[in-house]
Chains A and B, each alone.
Chain A
Amino acid sequence: MSDKDPSLRRNAPKLALHVPEPPFRPGDAPDFSSLKIPAAGSAPRPDIAAPAAETHPLTTQLVRVLGDDSKAVGAWDPKLDPETLRKMLRDMITVRIFDDRMYRAQRQGKTSFYMKCTGEEAIAIAAQTALDREDMHFPTYRQQGLLVARGYPLTEMMNQIYSNRGDKLRGRQLPIMYSDKKFGFFSISGNLGTQFPQAVGWAMGAAIKGDSRIAMGWIGDGATAEGDFHSALTFAAVYNVPVVLAVVNNQWAISSFSGIAGAERATFAQRAVGYGIAGLRVDGNDALAVYAATKWASERARSNQGPTLIEFFTYRAEGHSTSDDPSGYRPTNEAKSWPLGDPIERLKAHLIAIGEWDDERHAAANAEADATVRAAQKESEKLGILPEQGKNGVETMFDDVYAEVPWHIAEQREQALSEGRD
């Protein structure tokens, strides 16, 4: 088996492979007390024109705004007006209710697949709130909040989930892989990480054309191991690209914890250091911190100061998807132990703390969002659910491969249609 000569390496220690293990497995009592959580307001806020290196100490800390008393504190406090805060909260509530309804729809057999973003609602909602409407997102499958924050019709999202007659993607994509050019939401890929350098390319285009719009790329902690992540950072650094690059570190890539992507050795934000770009590590369950960091990075990009890599530190409270059972690899109550709390509860508590919200209004907001989601679902289901699809309009399956249908695909279309006639 081995070609080593034992007489030559007699006294050398045996080598061993280190395979990282998460701190807790099923049956363990999760205890995050060893996790260092800096106090809200403790992180300094550099000028947007600061050299990238000045941000590098921030790649190991955690930008936090909401304190234990639910008040906003420190240099990163974005000082948002109550109406903006309330809109963010309502959008986050809508996303959670939407997720629950669509999860249930999948369980009812109305569609094939669904992915929730429970526990991560603040990230997409607050990040989009900090960006301009015309900026471009290259998202993953867990940024449905970007669409909600931009006022995208929920019925349209559901049409794409059900692949029904109203599905603008004509039944060609997995349910959560939305796409909409007008809403600045790039088509989602199932091959992870591909969108990250694409975001850089879009922003390079904006820079080449002297535009004022910027791009925001999104990736999960697990996919940072893909080559695309590293080419994105290289290109972003080399050409000083006006792009905001977000790593959503939700601790879990299906059943693999973030250590399998390298989190034991360095934070994901620290990846910025080696590329010489600005980096921030942010409490992803703190909507104000997410807003403030994204705003900072977007202003930096928009003023030609270059790219920023932001790690949003959060926790995936539910399974990876409807096909996943997280009780097989982590304690069932782990999400409840997550020390950064629930993003909706934290923003709610903040609004109450500043006298701009109360339990009654919160209940009303929940009821309103629930009614809106139900109405959208009813509307969408009029256009069909997945099991009813794929029978009519088979000929459309052959469209859009090329701008025009070439002879060989036309022949196959004819064959498919004749099979249907048999």
Chain B
Amino acid sequence: MNMIQALNDAHKVVMRADEDVVVFGEDAGYFGGVFRVTEGLQKEFGKQRAFDAPISEGGIVATAVGMAAYGIKPLIEIQFADYIYPGYDQIVSEVAKMRYRTAGEWAMPMVIRTPYGGGIFGGQTHSQSPESLFTHIAGLKVVVPSTPYDAKGLLIAAVEDPDPVIFFEPKRIYNGPFDGHHDRPVKPWSKHPASEVPEGYYTVPLGKASIVREGDAVTVLAYGTMVHVALAAVEEQGLDAEVIDLRTLVPLDIKTIEKSVEKTGRCLIAQEAPRTSGFAAELSALVQERCFYHLEAPVERVTGWDTPYPHAYEWAYFPGPKRLKRALEKVMAD
């Protein structure tokens, strides 16, 4: 199964299990979404539970707030993460704060799914990684899967979670794992172990990172597409690196990070998003605060540049294995 199929399967599992789960979004009903993640849902569950929405992200999120207040569990799609900004006020001021401001009387259990990231020649408005805008907001959980197995298990867990979850889907690896090199085609997921996606119900718990490669030389923290870039970089470099896929940014699995950095003494953080105030900055500060006396070198960050996403130069923008290689050399040099 590729990630799209795994996510589609997760939708079917949760919708069969809970008739209060309702799916909607732009093109998400009849057509099944522009990436086909919601394909077939309207046919199986009917128009009352899977339907198209007007081009109004603010309206989509706001009506989901109302539905959650009613007792329905919205599982909504924002077509691209770049389109989420018109819904930002509703997410930040309403979804995130409702449990708090009503002292638990009105919780907002909902999942806001959205494809994020670059590497598909999507230009400025189909390539962004805005996760740090949400990790900064108290009340939201933020999830970024990197494999089909995790995508299905995390999405089911997100729907079951009592808190609102922003679920970022790395669209660059929807169809296959990315080796970070733009001159090579994406390989299909079929030969990847994480494409073994079990039928039916299972969950991958929120707040639990995954050590995708064990090693002693350096800890590499990554999530989403960058997990695959990081793996490619350390393999090509022949480094005994420990690569950690965070899977959930909020709540963060700090214990796994601490344990690894205490072991390796070095840390590299990789994110696609621009550098300034990105989530890598938060990770870097946490590692510095909690593991300083174990560190043998300064914490390194590999990120996108602090520019809008440039269409024609996206491969110079996207942090690929070459950029990681240089950063790894630096972090290993001291």
Contacts and interface: CB of A to CB of B under 8 A. Distances in A.
A169 B102 contact: yes
Contacts of A227: 58, 86
Interface string A194-218: 1011111111111011000001000
Interface string B166-185: 00000000000000000000
B67 A402 contact: no
Contact of B103 (A170, A206, A409): A170
Interface in B104-121: 104-107
A185 to B, nearest CB: 11
A187 B22 CA distance: 23
B107 A403 contact: yes
Interface size grouping (class) on chain A: 35 or more
Given A187-B106, A403-B162, A234 B54 contact: yes
B59 A202 contact: no
Contact of A401 (B89, B106, B139, B162): B139
Contact of B100 (A190, A203, A401): A401
Nearest to B139: A401
A22 interface: no
A190 B92 CA distance: 12
Contact of A197 (B62, B70, B139, B163): B62
B28 to A, nearest CB: 14
A179 B67 contact: no
A80 B161 CA distance: 48
A200 to B, nearest CB: 6
Contacts of A186: 69, 106
Contacts of A201: 62-70
A179 B101 contact: yes
Interface in B90-147: 90, 93-94, 98-107, 138-139, 141
B204 interface: no
Contacts of B22: 208
A168 interface: yes
B64 to A, nearest CB: 6
Interface size grouping (class) on chain B: 35 or more
A366 interface: no
A292 B117 CA distance: 53
Contacts of A180: 105
Contacts of B69: 136, 186, 198, 201-202, 205
Contacts of B94: 189, 191, 194, 198
A235 interface: yes
B207 interface: yes
B48 interface: yes
13 contacts: A181-B105, A181-B106, A190-B93, A194-B65, A198-B66, A208-B48, A209-B71, A209-B72, A234-B56, A400-B103, A401-B100, A402-B139, A408-B251
Interface of A: 136, 138, 168-170, 172-173, 177, 179-181, 186-187, 189-191, 194, 196-206, 208-209, 215, 227-228, 231-232, 234-235, 238, 399-403, 406-409
